Amino acid sequence: MSSKMQSSNNIAQARRTVQQLRIEANIERIKVSKASADLMHYCSEHAKYDPLLMGIPTSENPFKDKKPCTIL
Amino acid sequence: MAAQEVAAQPSDTLATLKTESETLKTKLEEERAKLHDVELHQVAEKIEALGQFVMKTRRTLKGHGNKVLCMDWCKDKRRIVSSSQDGKVIVWDAFTTNKEHAVTMPCTWVMACAYAPSGCAVACGGLDNKCSVYPLSLDKNENLAAKKKSVAMHTNYLSACCFTNSDMQILTSSGDGTCALWDVESGQMLQSFHGHAADVLCLDLAPSETGNTFVSGGCDKKACVWDMRTGQCVQSFETHESDINSVRYYPSGDAFASGSDDATCRLYDLRADREVAIYSKESIIFGASSVDFSLSGRLLFGGYNDYTINVWDVLKGTRVSILFGHENRVSTLRVSPDGTAFCSGSWDHTLRIWA
């Protein structure tokens, strides 16, 4: 690659980086306190439906083996 | 996104562009820092700590002849597809541990596999640089390889794949540094995603309620969030100190977790646009290969190269459990669609179901 082509590629690359950074710098953001509160709220709302968190009875979990029944 | 296009100026030199680049990076950090008023784990101090967890291996799936590299659950919550270094892709019934289908790929190191939403097909690929779709036949004697459809073509290995909301489109990531969206029927590339500076190792689709975005992680230590319609990178995060092996959205879609060779997992909040938690311990020195959340997002499961699975309290940042069992690296880990169990795959040739 001639040095002229190489430098114009580098400039094109740098221009793309500047363009990308402009987009990222201008997005709207919220405070971490608000974001954290929302994450916590989601967890607490859904906790009761989370089988791995709450543990579910053996009889309801298809992966936990049920004790064999004996018919007398 | 023409609005932000940087018009070419004759006076543009590499130097002026680099200066502007540095100025923008500083501005980005300043904007992020302004909103950093508290830490997640501090806000979480007021909630109850989690109790003891008893999670055990409930099933062991044996049958692969070499390292298990990837797995995915079917929406029916019982079937699993897994792929291995030996080129085999196996579909299992996780309840009974029976193998339902097996395909031998023409290449070794099948690093990616995914179950179609309908449950009627699987996609896989690896060193062949392609992603192929195999319709699953009810006829056990039918040769699945005969119906194979090549969908994606990259110029380097396929690292991850996943179907979008239907069987019609597949998202792929590759060692060639790009991600791409493909139409399954025609094999046509619908969109490509450029921005990573090195191999892309992982991706995850946002939960359907949050719209058309996905996150990817790569060897450039960056995690990028992409708009699927425009191909634009909308946010990027560069706080890991090494390759990002796994990314997974938090169930609400407002955040995502990552696992890296730097031995940490991290949580990034998309609306705060920053890292909000690091899950690490001095005693954990091996890379995290794979991460996934429990249904409520309170637990983060991480599979590590030291053969263990660490379970983290996402909000408090502490480890709540460590699971032993695999006899080699854990390479892949996914929670089942209804959250009743999770599956881990390992270089020890097996998959384990934990509950």
> Using an 8 Å Cβ cutoff, are B180 and B195 in contact?
no
Residue B7 lies in a domain: no
Give the one of B195, B274, B299 whose C-beta lies nearest to A53's C-beta. Answer: B299
Q: Is B109 on the interface with A (CB under 8 A)?
A: no
Within-domain flag for B8? no
Q: Given a cut of 50, is residue B202 above it in pLDDT?
A: yes
Rg (CA), chain B: 20
Average pLDDT over residues B121-150: 88
Residue B8 has pLDDT above 80, yes or no: no
Indicate if the pLDDT at residue B335 is higher than 60: yes
Average pLDDT on B1-5 reads 47
The model's confidence at residue B233, banded by pLDDT at 50, 70 and 90, is very high
Q: Is A36's CB within 8 Å of B40's CB?
A: yes
Check whether B143 has a pLDDT greater than 80: no
Substitution target in A16, A31, A43 with the highest count of B β-carbons within 10 Å is A43
Write down the pLDDT at residue B3.
45
Q: What secondary structure letter does DSSP report for A54?
A: H
What value does the mean pLDDT of chain B take? 94
Give me the CATH number covering residue B239.
Answer: 2.130.10.10
Chain B residues closer than 8 Å to A35 by CB: 40, 254-255, 269, 271-272, 276
Please check whether residue B184 lies inside any domain of the structure.
Answer: yes
Of A8, A62, A25, nearest in space to B355 by CA: A62
Q: Is the pLDDT of residue A56 over 60?
A: yes
Q: Is residue B112 part of a domain?
A: yes
In a domain, B1, yes or no: no
Write the DSSP assignment of B260-312 as a string of letters: ETTS-EEEEETTTTEEEEEE--TT--SPEEEEEE-TTSSEEEEEETTS-EEEE
Q: pTM value? A: 0.93
* pLDDT band per the 50, 70, 90 thresholds, residue B320: very high
Q: Which domains does chain A have, with CATH numbers?
A: 3-48 (4.10.260.10)
For residue B258, the enclosing domain spans 19-354
What sign does the dihedral B282-B69-B249-B177 (CA atoms) show?
Answer: positive
What confidence score (pLDDT) does residue B208 get?
78
Mean pLDDT of B159-180: 96
B60 vs A: CB within 8 A: no
Is B88 domain-assigned? yes
B292 domain-assigned: yes
Question: For the range B44-53, what are the long-range contacts, defined as Cβ-Cβ under 8 Å and sequence gap of 24 or more?
Answer: B44/A36, B44/A40, B44/B315, B44/B316, B44/B317, B45/B316, B47/A40, B47/A44, B47/B315, B47/B316, B49/B313, B49/B316, B49/B318, B50/A53, B50/B298, B50/B299, B50/B313, B50/B320, B52/B321, B53/B311, B53/B320, B53/B321
Percent of chain B whose pLDDT exceeds 70: 95
CA nearest neighbour of B274 among B231, B235, B227: B235
A5 in contact with B at a CB cutoff of 8 Å?
A: no
CB B345 within 8 Å of CB B71: yes
Which residues of chain A make contact with B21, given a CB cutoff of 8 A?
14, 17-18, 21
User: Which segment of B115-124, B208-217, B291-300 scores lowest on mean pLDDT?
Assistant: B208-217
- Whether residue B13 is predicted with pLDDT greater than 50 in this model: the reply is yes
Selected residue of B294, B309, B321 to mutate for chain A interface (largest A Cβ count, 10 A)? B294
Which of B5-9, B31-35, B60-64, B151-155 has the weakest average pLDDT? B5-9
B141 Cβ contact partners less than 8 Å away, ≥ 6 residues apart: none
Asked whether the beta carbons of residue A62 and residue B95 sit closer than 8 angstroms, the reply is yes
The amino acid that residue B175 corresponds to is G
Give the C-alpha distances (Å, rounded to integers) separating B68 from B33, B85, B186, B228, B337.
41, 7, 30, 30, 21
31-70 of A, contacting B, C-beta below 8 A: 31-40, 42-47, 49-53, 55-56, 61-65
| Average pLDDT of the residues of chain A | 84
Residues A25-53: tens digit of each pLDDT: 888 999 999 999 999 999 999 999 999 99
Which chain A positions have a beta carbon within 8 Å of B298's beta carbon? 43, 47, 50, 53
Is residue B4 in a domain?
A: no
Task: Please count the structural domains in chain B.
Answer: 1
- B211: pLDDT strictly greater than 90: no
- Please compute the mean of the pLDDT values over residues A48-70 and round it to a whole number: 81
